[in-house]
Structure 1
């Protein structure tokens, strides 16, 4: 166990230290404000303050973990053995910057509470973030800091045995549109025909007809394949289903459709399922609740996982709504237009509500890359897209973290813009398989 001495123990301090030591390094941590207890402790110990008490590990603190509320912080970037850092302090500490204040700043998404320009979908854009501006978005920086800090502990306490965690891979599937042609209803089906004809897409007209009359499989109905890959390669897969009302941004099959309900139930028999709340639900708790109850009534069990449609996340409001509705896990933490680590960690963490200054029970699972980011936003060729995915996975492997990808059921259709993307998905599983 690691004993931490600080003159004041705050919610920010305990939150950050527990993520850094317990969740990343598998080190249990406790805290004290009593000098005599700290001196008497014979195990691992660390002082977080303005000066050390003895020869223990010492981190010089800045003010961030002892403050409340949001302030405009002056951040200047530096380096620690070739790794980006900020909140520099002095060289005679064990680390030349306040590693815990910097971790809290990134983990709490402090910068997202500060004034910023939103993108066209009212999202916090990657370009506004410190990680993008200083080119460390592709790194799980907090985990990298933690593993470097682990070496300091091992040097200081060579007889203490540290246990490593294991690399994990979670594949997540967003079901924005379950079917390309089937189960759309008469009005939407006729509209689809007219749209194809107006653009002279005669092949699509023929394909649509073949699917509707049951002569061909719907190209977006890839669920059996996805479940097969999950079983074959032993990689956990989570499906997020949208059941919201039809809008400009929400175009899935109606949640009242019996075929769609059967699909959700059948997937839930083999994989974990979560809610994919509709576009406008990020600021509307009543709408979120309605959709959660809909999905629960279909699968006949509580829904505890969620990911916002379009990745629309408004801090802290969206997360407060999820907490009120007893959602336990959220998978929205990532960017649409850029790959990488939005919270600079590849370790699931609990949401810290800066508005109330508390650690909440909502666990955040940050994803590293989305199919649409590579194909639609960055317009990367297939080979380069696969290389990006594997390079991000390798970054996570170095710190034994959790690598999470975001794909869609339609990505495996191998049609139109998703041509040959099924191979990318399968090759990713082969490369990262957990099966011996």
Structure 2
């Protein structure tokens, strides 16, 4: 193990947070932060300085930005002048501050600034610095750390090895409605039929009649088909909507026996996560109540969540999840664009900028979502497959975690998902077959970062 002392003249939770994140990439590199100059000067081992002073004959220097120690209020006051300084390029200039650059992206600093949200109250991709720079598809944080490690190898004449990821991909299936038409109250069935009739949607009326009479299967009832793909249980999670009263919350009651049995069945081959309702992103009591409702249906603890409609409001949403006992959240991404919202393809701890503290909540960023391709980008299936492959290749290159979002409703191939039959299966089959071809976790044990 190579122990490195990293000196900063102004120690802070921000600095420690970034150091711990960087250290998590490597098997044989131990980074210890130091704020005492005398201790640093007396240290005879490998030395790094976050600054440009001449303190030692042999030390690796990292530039320090003037903005790094400013309070959130001061940064917001600086406004666009500060935001324009956030590094958003794969190219590393002389004045590049790795520590600051990583921190601004992982902390999602830009989402704390006053900005016009979209119609669902979300921070829009079009307002993000990465989107404006046309670099959303590149996990800059991972790239920078890799390049930094290579420079460190050259400077100290050492070999740095990556820490293997235990799981390099996962699939999250959001269940907004267990069934399209089945197992709903009679008044909803009649109301739906009348609404379709009045709108002239005779094909939809006929579909309802066939489903109600048992002639065809409900198109959202795709659970058995997913099970037959043999996705490892640890790599598959169903995120279930368990409450909510808004027009966007349409799931069945979990008190229904048929739904309870379905959840029990899902637990046999997948993990279960919470899909907090539309209005829950700023209401603690709702998340706790919905988590309790879902937990009563499950035999294993519910520790994962993904926000309905990806509605994240920083810092409130993540604080509420922590209060409710959630340990991992899978909402970090955009509805309208694929790529890496936090410029990172690895899980990371959430940093509460207002309280200036790192938390135990793990953020697992997702790379793509089915709805993004159909509704926002309006891709054909062939285009989507190419983009999925490109994102997967990127995650493999930087040995990140490739998480994809799908919906049980996206298998409705007679409806809006016509011609998308087989897309999900093609992507997932490739992921499942990975160990037979190229397992990056094995590769990372055998080579230094120089060989990647």
Deviation at 1:300, TM superposition (A): 3.6
User: Against the structure 1 CA distance between its residues 213 and 319, is the aligned structure 2 distance closer, same or farther, given a 3 Å change threshold?
Assistant: same
The answer to which of 62-71 and 171-180 deviates more is 62-71
Return the TM-score normalized by structure 2. 0.89
Q: CA deviation at 1:77?
A: 6.2
Given that 1:330 and 1:362 are in contact with CA atoms closer than 8 Å, whether structure 2 keeps it comes out as yes
In the alignment, the residues of structure 1 paired with residue 435 and residue 207 of structure 2 have an alpha-carbon distance, to the nearest angstrom, of: 38
Query: Aligned-pair distance for 1:24?
Result: 6.5
Q: How far did residue 37 of structure 1 move? A: 3.6
| Unaligned residue ranges in structure 2 (runs of 5+) | 437-452
User: Which residue does the alignment assign to 2:445?
Assistant: none
2:44 & 2:229 partners in 1: Cα distance?
Answer: 50
Determine the C-alpha separation between the residues in 2 that align with 1:276 and 1:23. Answer: 30
Distance 1:374 1:174 in 2: 16
Instruction: Measure how far apart 1:363 and its partner are.
Output: 0.7
After TM superposition, the structure 1 stretch with the greater mean CA deviation from structure 2, 420-429 or 308-317, is 420-429
In structure 2, what is the equivalent of residue 61 of structure 1?
64
**Matches of 1:307 and 1:115, distance apart in 2:** 24
Q: Which stretches in structure 1 are left out of the alignment for 5+ residues?
A: none
- Inter-CA distance 200–206: structure 2 relative to 1 (3 Å threshold): same
Task: Give 1:187's aligned residue.
Answer: 187
Contact 2:19 2:33 in 1 (8 A): no
Tell me if the contact between 2:180 and 2:218 (Cα under 8 Å) persists in the aligned partners.
yes
* 1:332 match: 331
Residue in structure 1 matched with residue 23 of structure 2 by the alignment: 21
Aligned to 1:298, what secondary structure does the other structure show? coil
| Aligned pairs for 1:63-102 within 5 A | 63-70=66-73, 71=75, 72=78, 73-76=81-84, 83-84=90-91, 91=94, 96-102=95-101
Residue 196 of structure 1: how far off its partner (Å): 2.5
In the alignment, is the contact (CA less than 8 A) between 2:65 and 2:100 conserved in 1?
A: yes
Distance 1:262 1:26, change over 3 A: farther
Worse-matched range after superposition: 26-35 or 176-185: 26-35
**What is residue 125 of structure 2 aligned with on the other side?**
126
Contact 2:329 2:362 in 1 (8 A): yes
1:174 corresponding residue in structure 2: 174
Does the 8 Å contact 1:112/1:124 carry over to 2? Answer: yes
SS of the equivalent of 2:404 reads strand
CA distance in 1, matches of 2:365, 2:54: 35
Q: 1:79 to 1:331 in 2, by over 3 A?
A: closer
- Structure 1: distance between partners of 2:262 and 2:45: 54
Which residues of 2 match residues 389-428 of structure 1 at below 5 A?
389-428=388-427
Matched, 1:30 2:32: yes
Task: State the 1:361 CA deviation.
Answer: 1.1
- 263-272 or 276-285, larger mean C-alpha shift: 263-272
The answer to whether the 8 Å contact 1:230/1:237 transfers is no
Name the counterpart of 1:196: 196
1:244 deviates by 0.8
Question: Of residues 40, 48, 59 in structure 2, which corresponds to 1:46?
Answer: 48
| Further displaced range: 219-228 or 364-373 | 219-228
1:24-423 equivalence runs, <5 A: 27-54=29-56, 55-70=58-73, 71=75, 72=78, 73-76=81-84, 83-84=90-91, 91=94, 96-166=95-165, 168-231=168-231, 236-423=235-422
| 1:10 is aligned to 2:12 | yes
**Deviation by residue 1:197-244 (Cα, 9 ceiling, x = unmatched):** 22333333232222223232211011122122243x787111100011
Cα separation, 2, equivalents of 1:119 and 1:183 = 34
The 1:143–1:201 alpha-carbon spacing in structure 2 relative to 1, beyond 3 Å, is same
Contact 1:274 1:307 in 2 (8 A): yes
Between 1:320-329 and 1:35-44, the stretch displaced more is: 35-44
Does the 8 A contact of 1:234 with 1:435 survive in 2? Answer: no
| Contact kept? 2:86, 2:101, Cα under 8 Å | no
CA 1:97–1:141: 2 relative to 1, 3 Å: same
Q: Under a length normalisation based on structure 1, what TM-score does the superposition of the two structures give?
A: 0.92
Structure 1 contact 48–61 (Cα < 8 Å) conserved: yes
SS of the aligned residue for 1:66 comes to coil
| Structure-2 separation of matches of 1:394 and 1:119 | 31
| Whole-angstrom distance in 2 between the partners of 1:283 and 1:28 | 38
